[in-house]
Every structure is written in C-alpha cells, then in structure tokens.
Amino acid sequence: MTSRSAFDYATPYDIMVGYWVGTGNIYGPKGLYVMSTKMHVGIYWKTPYTKLHFREAAEDFDEFQGSAGDYLDSRRTQMGEIERVLGATGLAAIRGLRALHYDITVEGQHCYTDQNGSISLSGMQTRPDVYQHHVKKREEDGTYHHMYESHYFASPHDWQVTSPIVGPDGEVGVAVVLNFRRISFDVPRAFIRALPLSGSQH
C-alpha cells in the first residue's frame, strides 16, 4: 500500500488490498435465488504494484460437496428445485469456484495470472473504482466455464462483484453477486502462503 494513505486510487488494484468479508449470493438462470454463503478474501502485494496475491474462500467450502439439497431455501423452493435450476453445468461451476488462490501480475491497468493454470484470470481497470475480469476454469475434458466479473467500489471499503457463470455450452448457468466490506488493510497470516508446487490454484 502507499505511504500517502492506506490505498491509492491512482495506483491500479491498490484499492483491493486488504482483508474483506462478505456474502456470496447465487441465482439460477431465470433469476431464482438459490443460496448464500459468507465469503472471505485476502489480497496483498507480493511485489509492490506489480504482483498481487489473491485468496478467496467460502465459509463452508470444506463441507460443500455439490449436494444441492444441503442449500435449499425451504421458504421459497421445493425439494429438488435447486437441481432443476442449476443442472449439472451450474453445480460444476459452483463446485470449482468456491476457493480461488492465485498470483496476479499487474502491468498498469491490465492484470493476468498464469494462463496455463486450471483457473486463469485476465482483466483491466476501466475507472479508478471499476474493474472488469474474465476468469476461466478448465474442466477435465478440456472445456471451460467462464466468469465475466464486474467489480465496483461504491466506497473505499465497499466492494461489489457481479458475474454470470457461462458453461461450455455458451449458456448462463448461474449468476453470482458478491458484496464485501473491508475489515482491515492487513491480511490474516493464514491467507499468506505460497501457491502449491503442483500448480493447482485451489
């Protein structure tokens, strides 16, 4: 972070640095609410202004096995509705994108990760408080799920991300809305770790 303030709007991506807590809300392709979970994000500069480390995890990631019935909103849906709403494409996308862990190279307003990883990212800053990212998740059969993320900072400490998840068939499987509040400019020690040697980004 900068010496002038906790972050600097003039330095691309510096506003993202810190520890964030929020909620992730998932909607089916027809807008039906499916589930919510608490989300944790830790972002810090490994090399000032050129290399970011990003880690995101859902609160219940370790318990999540893709069993839709475990996340049923019984006030609004009937048993089995989530399976019908999401289908195999949506469930596969959620299962693989509930924990993200990668290094991000920053070159001015552009950013990217290792494009050979199982999950890769490329993006840009379009305004000091707006960013656009494309996240790709490669499946075992070589096909991809795509997330087209729009990042908005309504204030220095409020961050919203909206993203459709598009399956290999080109159809939107689910839509994700994330709302974060910055808890600290410091990142918990547990979030500071090296990438796995295998190249896995989970």
DSSP for 155-191, written as a single string: ETTEEEEEEEEE-TTS-EEEEEEEEEEEEESS--GGG
Instruction: Tell me the pTM.
Output: 0.76
Look at residues 148, 151, 176 and name the one whose alpha carbon lies nearest to residue 36.
176
**Range 14-191 has CATH code 2.40.128.20:** yes
Q: How far apart are CA 144 and CA 165, in angstroms?
A: 10
**Residue 47 pLDDT grade (very low, low, confident, very high; cuts 50, 70, 90):** confident
- Per-residue pLDDT averaged across 25-36, rounded? 87
- Per-residue pLDDT averaged across 45-68, rounded? 69
**Residue 50 pLDDT grade (very low, low, confident, very high; cuts 50, 70, 90):** very high
